[in-house]
Amino acid sequence: MKLAILSDTHGLLRPQVVEHLKAADVILHGGDINKPTIVEELRQYAPLYVVRGNNDKDWAEEIPHSLTITLDGITFHMVHNKKEIPAILSGVDVVVFGHSHKYVQEEQDGVLWLNPGSCGPRRFHQEITMMMAEITDGTLRVEKITIPHQTDG
């Protein structure tokens, strides 16, 4: 199973990101979508699991603040802001979050923590990133995807 993991699109789906989405079986979005049209577009490519970010206003009332899902035997807990993750995460293999726009891929106490960074408008002179991941025989392999950018902010 191939997963596209992204966050903080802030109303922009770059063509390079869309190319990766087309290869995904499932899309995980860590919030700050900013527009309902982005959700609709994401759903055209693969089943979408999404959480609400701090910039997702009234239009996003139906989107949960946190979500726990199991895909091919691996349990993911999703939330936009890492500060909102419960202190005790029982039965969770992977935490997906966003908000900081900073790429994170680290293991702590047997849990894999993933922040795909931001693949929307470039902010704070940070790189534009997302993740592609693959679940094979109960193992998750994650690849960092860096999107080339022009001077767009």
What is the set of domains in the chain, with CATH numbers? 2-147 (3.60.21.10)
At residue 120 the predicted structure's pLDDT band, cuts being 50, 70 and 90, is confident
Closest CA to 117 of 74, 146, 150, 152: 146
**DSSP for the chain, written as a single string:** -EEEEE---TT---HHHHHHHTT-SEEEE-S----HHHHHHHHHHS-EEE---TT--GGGTTS-SEEEEEETTEEEEEESSGGGS-S--TT-SEEE--SS---EEEEETTEEEEE----SS--TTPPEEEEEEEEETTEEEEEEEEEP--S--
- Residues 26-80: tens digit of each pLDDT: 999 999 999 999 999 999 999 999 999 999 999 999 999 999 999 999 999 999 9
Q: What is the pLDDT of residue 152?
A: 46
Of the pLDDT bands very low, low, confident and very high (cuts 50, 70, 90), residue 153 is very low
Confidence of residue 149 (pLDDT cuts 50, 70, 90): confident
pLDDT score of 97 more than 60: yes
Instruction: Identify the pLDDT of residue 79.
Output: 97
